[in-house]
Amino acid sequence: MSGETVGLIGIGALLVLLMIRIPVAFAMFLVGFIGIALLNSPNAAISLLATESFTLASSPELVVIPLFILMGNITSATGMSRQLYDAAYALIGWVRGGLASATIIGCGGFAALSGSSVASALTMGRVALSEMDRFKYDNRLSTGAVAAGGTLGILIPPSTGFVIYAILTEQSIGRLFLAGVLPGILLLALFVLAITLICLVKPAFGPKGPSTNLSEKAIALLKATPIVAVIALTIGGIYGGLFSPVEAAAVGAGAVILISFVARQLTFSILFNALRDSVVTTATVMLILIAAHMINPFLALSHIPTAVGDFMTGLELSATGVLLLILLVYLILGTFLEGFAMMVLTLPIFFPIILAYEIDPIWFGVLVVLTLEMGLISPPVGLNVFIVKSVAPQVPLGNIFLGVIPFWLMMLVCVLIILMFPQIALFLPDTMID
Q: Where are the domains of the chain?
A: 63-430
**CB-based contact 174:159 (threshold 8 Å):** no
Report pLDDT for 434: 53
Max intra-chain CA distance, the chain? 74
Report pLDDT for 417: 96
Closest by Cα among 301, 311, 377 to 339: 377
139 Cβ neighbours under 8 A, 6+ residues apart: 133, 392, 395, 399, 400, 403
**CB-based contact 168:344 (threshold 8 Å):** yes
For residue 379, is it left (φ>0), alpha (ψ between -120 and 50) or beta?
beta
Q: Calculate mean pLDDT across residues 4-27.
A: 81
**CB-based contact 98:137 (threshold 8 Å):** no
pTM: 0.79
d(CA 302, CA 70): 39
pLDDT digits 0-9 by tens, 267-314:
889 899 989 988 887 887 788 778 777 777 887 788 877 777 777 777
pLDDT digits 0-9 by tens, 217-228:
888 888 888 888
CA dihedral 245, 246, 247, 252 (to 10 degrees): 80
379 Cβ neighbours under 8 A, 6+ residues apart: 335, 385, 401
pLDDT digits 0-9 by tens, 175-205:
998 899 899 999 999 999 999 999 999 988 9
Helix, strand, or coil here: 157? Answer: coil
Look at the chain and count its residues.
434
236 Cβ neighbours under 8 A, 6+ residues apart: 242
d(CA 402, CA 382): 12
Backbone angles phi, psi at 303, to 5 degrees: 65, 15
Query: What share of the chain in percent tops pLDDT 90?
Result: 19
Report pLDDT for 106: 81
Report pLDDT for 115: 67
pLDDT digits 0-9 by tens, 60-98:
777 877 887 888 788 878 877 777 777 877 877 778 888
In this predicted structure, which of 15-24, 213-222, 404-413 has the lowest mean pLDDT? 15-24
Residue 310 neighbours by CB distance under 10 Å:
11
b/e burial code for range 326-358 (CB count within 10 A of at least 16 → b): bbeebeebbebbbbbbbbbbbbbbbbebbeebe
Based on DSSP, count helices (H) and strands (E) in the chain, helices before strands.
Answer: 21, 0
Q: Which DSSP state fits 379?
A: T
| Degrees, nearest 5: CA angle 97-101-104 | 145
Closest by Cα among 129, 124, 118, 125 to 69: 118
CA atoms within 13 A on the CB side of 419: 18
Backbone angles phi, psi at 94, to 5 degrees: -85, -10
**CB-based contact 67:251 (threshold 8 Å):** no
d(CA 47, CA 14): 22
d(CA 323, CA 354): 8
Report pLDDT for 190: 96
Given a cut of 80, is residue 19 above it in pLDDT? no
Given a cut of 60, is residue 251 above it in pLDDT? yes
